[in-house]
């Protein structure tokens, strides 16, 4: 993929999808009134790209939001907001950063799951209720 392709509202979807396909990233697209929403299947935690087209037909600036899954409180562990008007804009580098951050997050989740499974095994061996053990013995304020 050429990194110097100027992204416009006419070619944004073709450019984005060709980058995703080139990197063999599976994705799903949904549409809303402001643009497209891409869900990238990257493991236990997914990544998302929201493409917002300009409202004014004379405006050529396309806005992107890159983020990890949104939590119940509306937060995201990774969030980046950039538009094509940014002087050093490079769509590929933003996609690469999103993928890297999500892969790091997936590795972290894997490590946590291993520790949780170890704690569950210890609880089972000692006839302790895992959920009760966590609720009683974990200091949530710390």
pLDDT digits (tens, 9 = 90+) for 34-68: 678 888 998 888 899 999 888 777 788 888 999 98
CATH topology assigned to domain 12-137: Yope Regulator; Chain: A, (3.30.1460)
Which region among 25-29, 52-56, 63-67, 94-98 has the lowest average model confidence (pLDDT)? Answer: 52-56
What letter does residue 123 receive in the DSSP assignment? H
Query: What's the pLDDT tens digit per position in 109-137?
Result: 899 999 999 989 999 998 888 888 777 76
Domains in the chain: boundaries: 12-137
Q: What's the rounded Cα separation, in Å, for the pair 90 and 13?
A: 15
Q: What's the rounded Cα separation, in Å, for the pair 57 and 77?
A: 34
């Amino acid at each position: 993929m050429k990194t110097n392709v100027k992204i416009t509202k006419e070619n944004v979807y073709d450019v984005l999808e060709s980058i995703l396909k080139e990197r063999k990233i599976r994705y799903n697209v949904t549409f809303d009134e402001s643009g497209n929403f891409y869900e990238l299947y990257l493991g236990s935690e997914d990544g998302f790209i929201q493409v917002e087209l300009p409202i004014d037909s004379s405006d050529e600036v396309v806005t992107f939001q890159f983020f990890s899954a949104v939590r119940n409180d509306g937060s995201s562990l990774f969030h980046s907001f950039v538009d094509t008007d940014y002087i050093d804009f490079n769509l590929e580098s933003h996609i690469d950063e999103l993928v890297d951050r999500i892969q790091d997050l997936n590795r972290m989740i894997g490590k946590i799951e291993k520790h949780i499974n170890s704690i569950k095994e210890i609880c089972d061996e000692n006839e302790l209720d895992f959920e009760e053990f966590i609720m009683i013995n974990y200091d949530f304020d710390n």
